[in-house]
Amino acid sequence: MDDTDASSLVDDFIEEHFGNQKSESPRLPKKLLSSLPSSPPPPQPPPSSPPETLSNAFWRNGFDLGRVLGFGAFGKVYRARKVSEMEYNFAVKVIQYKNEEVLQEARSEYACNELGSYHKNVVRVESFFEFSLAGTSKQYGVLVLELCHHEDFMDFMENLVKTHRVFDEGIVKYYFRQLLRVLKTLHAAGVFHRDLKPENLLWSRDFKKLKLSDFGLAKMVLGPTALLQGFLGTAAYAAPEVCKSGSDGSFYDPAKADIWSCGVILFVMLTLSLPFDTEEGFKAWYYTAMHPASTLAAGHNKLAADPDGWWCCMSVNRGLSSGATAFLRRMMASQAGQRSSLQELLNDDWLNIDISSEGAVAAYMMAACTSNSS
């Protein structure tokens, strides 16, 4: 499916679920919301027998749990299969409803991920269900997702560092174009991810597609103007205005914030290092971005106050080419209004030359991952 088809599907989806709504307030799609129960099934009274286990509850709902694939802030992810099938072809994200806020966040995650599932570069949602463990007060929500390759981008890059290898630039461009394209479609539909980082970028099992995952912090905003406030996400990848919003409650454009995060992701892919190496380094950068005239300790480059000097230093010290540096600067501008749009980035000359072919990418990744596991 190309970008035009994906955008058309999203337009149809929005028309079907939203109709002619004009509200600018964040809301869940009518059809998705109506398909969810008003609340999870009530807990069962304590029986004389032992409380139900999570595995038994899944079996009751038609799934068999396999091994744990990962942990997140909001729950665990397991490999799973339908009880009627032999293969473990799904990943299930299990979220315990510790309070009403977590319940609403889980449903919002489902709505955002379901809307994005129309795009080939989003981890597809197969279903969503809720249950209570018999004999306990515990309640859960479950996202059933397509199963992707077991490594994420960060796992892969950490292995490259350990084995003193680099992420081939042609391969990087191949995947980064896919990331920009899927974000363009999501933003057009009013969905903003807000936690873009290598850990949330997966591969299809044949390595031909980047798969955007974890919509736990995503926000759906209807209306022509999308402005959000408050700090959410991962500090090392968060735009300076998002950090500022966390301290003073100011509003920011989530589309521009996602673009900043893309810049940091690309920087990491090209250099296998963060532009702000430690939490202390990030705090120093944030302070500089908000107070460009401030004096910092030796060694801290001032991206906001002296962008030319900062990028010159990065180009030399991290081995960035002039084309890559110029492209990164279009995303990692300290002022949100100076960042390029996703379409402008997709049209950039650097991103459109010397891109590896699909077959070359798949062969490279299979060989690299085989080397990583040996």
Q: Which residues are catalytic?
A: 195
Euclidean distance between CA atoms 165 and 259, whole angstroms: 27
The DSSP 8-state label assigned to residue 354 in this structure reads S
Answer for the pair 340, 330: CB distance below 8 angstroms, yes or no: yes
**Residues 365, 173: Cα–Cα separation, whole Å:** 14
d(CA 262, CA 235): 14
Q: Give burial (CB, 10 Å; 0-12/13-18/19+) of 346.
A: middle
Burial degree of 364 (CB within 10 A; 0-12, 13-18, 19+): middle
Token reading at 317: 């010290």
Decide: residue 216, CB within 10 A, 0-12 exposed, 13-18 middle, 19+ buried.
buried
Residue type, 272: L
143: nearest Cα among 86, 199, 105: 105
